[in-house]
Chain A
Amino acid sequence: MRVIIRILLVQLLLNVSFSLLAQDNAQSTNDLELQVVKFEKEGNTLELARSEVKLGFLYREKNNLPKAIEYFLKALKINETLGNTNAIKVISANLGILYAESDSYDLALIYLKKSLALNEKMGKRSDMLADLVNIAQVLQNLKKYSESSETAERAIAMAMEQSDMVSLKNCYAIMSENYEKTGNQAKAKEYFELAAAIKNRMQKEELKKFESRTQQAEEEVFVKNMEIQTKESRIKEIRHEQQLTLELLKKQKELSELNEKELKARERLQKAERRNTRQVILSLVVILVLVVISLLFIFRQLREKKKAFDLLEESNHQVIKQKDEIEKQHEVLISQKKKITDSIYYAKRIQNAVLTPASILEKSIPENFIFYKPRDIVSGDFYFISEKDDIVIVGAADCTGHGVPGAFMSMLGIAFINEIVNKLALTNQIHLLQANEVLNELREKVIVSLHQSGKPEEPKDGMDMALCIFDMKNKQMQYAGAHNPAFIIRNGEPMVLEADKMSIGIYRDTDVTFTNQQIELEDGDCIYLYSDGYYDQFGGPRGSKMLSGNFRRYLLEIHTKPMNEQRRLIEEFYKKWKGHNEQLDDVMVIGLRITA
């Protein structure tokens, strides 16, 4: 018994974030290499890494391993500077495989171990298993048999835990060869048989699957046969009806022939009258009886036909009546819908009127944008901007619900924040305003005004919010958040001010105060506030959620562009992601750049 295994390569599948990046696969290496040069010149590192990964895969397909390795190494370097762990571990695993394929087992080992360590950290158990199997194989090729066996045993434990039969079989085969190489034939045989047993079982399962498919096909044929039989019996019924009609026609023809015969008979009768009167009378009586029966028959047929016709006419009449009614109802519906929509459009004017225009920030924070896209006509998202004595307040809020109920909540929110802010502004104490205090007070007002008592089945209406207070003179910013964070980019570095896990409205812990966070501002800082509608949108190539990570990555990519350009790009990115999917929630993104 000899076990020969060439390099077992467990190919890693690209995960979601990667396939997201690797769109339009049908590009040639030439196109992609041109793109690489272009992105390098533009300094667009994210796109550069994408193209390099695509090139790596293309060259691997073309069996040009050195080139594939070269591009994967470049992509790895970029992703390491970006800190994109997911990409780093996928690329490392692929590099490990490529080095193993090029017989550079020492290098293969380094990259596979790197991937293993990352997978372990991320808790990706199935990817860990793939790495372990590959490492065990590479160690065997390096003739480090005992180390290889140790790794394989670890993989065996994981494979059993995940019921991964293929990996289990591969591990047994590796173990078997290790024992054979170290001269332990008995153990080698034992593991060879284990591997063979799994292979055997997998083949049996395949066979079973095939058999069940065959049975299913037979059942389908049976059902089809039944359908055909049903149809045939219906055809017979129709034929029978046709037969009956034909017979009726035949009887009518016979009747007219009878009439002719009667005339002839009468002529003959007149001639034979004198000869045989009794016989003539008898014949006449017989003929008359026949005629009467036939007439009765025809009359009955006619009466039935008329009945059926009447019935048809009546049902026809009813259908027309129903159609009229439906048309009337449809008109009522259309007019009702128009009334409702008109009234909501008017409500939209009111909502737009209470949203302060961003133009009031012209002096303090002139570089800003607001992307505001309600799901329905009116919105449950709203923003709040206020400025007095070098103090600028910007809030972005997301009320529960959307459409009309959301808009009701938003009006309540705007009115309350105005009240809270104006109380201090009117007494020239605006500089005393604390971001967390605004949220605390707002929460109290919402709970009291909605009469919320915290009973389980009562509505938990409320709002999530990110609130920033800028002190433009001292270049400081306060932030407080209810579920919604503030995303800041400084010198190309992302930074998240995390929100408290509380809502404005009745929720848990209404007696816990919101946290106040304070940072020193630097020129060039970009601050983004947003509701969850943008990144919770379903779409993209797989109809999946965008997710906040991808949204933030996109902001990082475009944050150096002028603000109005950013607004356009953000809208475009959203539309492209959404595609033909329905907009699920109100969407709002606010961007601000601090300038000298």
Chain B
Amino acid sequence: MDALIIKEEEGTPKIILDKENNKFEISGNSLPEDIIGFYMPVYKWIEEYMKDPNPVTKIVIRLNYFNSSSSKVILDIISILAELSYKGFKVEVEWHYLEMDDDSLQTGKEFQTFAKIPFSFIPFQDDGVSNRFIVE
């Protein structure tokens, strides 16, 4: 199946869903104006993928900023993928959080208790560049 690749733009994250290369990633900032419109292709892709998944699926979540609606969508995506673990496939989440951002770490842990699949938590350094939302 074709890979779904969405370039990062201001307010929307970079998305890589690539079955062939076994690469699954959501990274950047997520605060789209039309949340369902933006994530609909992702839902569609995952629905297709669930029919014939790879033996191991590791999704990397690396978000600097995500608003509350995005947080719900991310949990949804993780929950859908987690269903694969009942069918004998391996599903893992690599949760990257800004070092010191306890709120993001807590959200990840909360999702882990809901999804009941292995999570690894990886702090990343604040590079001070990817976070900028300059209006001028």
Contacts and interface: CB of A to CB of B under 8 A. Distances in A.
B83 to A, nearest CB: 10
A303 interface: no
- Of the four ranges (under 10, 10 to 19, 20 to 34, 35 or more), the interface on chain B belongs to 35 or more
Given A457-B43, A459-B35, A501 B65 contact: no
Given A401-B69, A460-B72, A464-B68, A544 B40 contact: no
Contacts of B134: 580-582
Contacts of A464: 68
B102 interface: yes
Given A508-B114, A581-B132, A532 B65 contact: no
Interface stretch (B15-23, B54-62, B93-101): B93-101
B68 A544 contact: no
Contact of A538 (B33, B65, B99, B136): B65
B51 to A, nearest CB: 15
A398 B128 contact: no
B133 A548 contact: no
A418 to B, nearest CB: 23
Interface string A581-596: 1101100000000000
- Of the four ranges (under 10, 10 to 19, 20 to 34, 35 or more), the interface on chain A belongs to 35 or more
B1 interface: no
A254 to B, nearest CB: 63
Contacts of B128: 542-544
B65 A584 contact: yes
B133 A581 contact: yes
B122 interface: no
A542 B76 contact: no
Contacts of A140: none
Interface in A283-333: none
A461 B64 CA distance: 22
Contact of B101 (A403, A547, A580, A585): A547
Contacts of A461: 69
Contacts of A460: 69, 72-73, 76
Given A457-B36, A460-B76, A581-B132, A17 B68 contact: no
A459 B34 CA distance: 10
A8 B73 CA distance: 50
A543 B131 contact: yes
A456 B80 contact: yes
A407 to B, nearest CB: 14
A578 to B, nearest CB: 10
Interface in B19-38: 31, 33, 35-36
B2 interface: no
A545 interface: yes
Interface-centre pick from A544, A548, A580 (highest chain B CB count, 10 A)? A544
B35 to A, nearest CB: 7
A532 B36 contact: no
Given A501-B110, A580-B134, 16 more contacts: A17-B100, A458-B36, A459-B36, A460-B69, A462-B72, A464-B68, A507-B72, A532-B68, A532-B103, A535-B103, A536-B65, A542-B128, A545-B64, A545-B98, A548-B102, A584-B65
Interface of A: 15-17, 398, 400-401, 403, 456-462, 464, 483, 501, 503, 507-508, 532, 535-536, 538, 542-545, 547-549, 580-582, 584-585
Interface of B: 31, 33, 35-36, 39-40, 43, 64-65, 67-69, 72-73, 75-76, 79-80, 98-103, 110, 114, 126, 128-129, 131-136
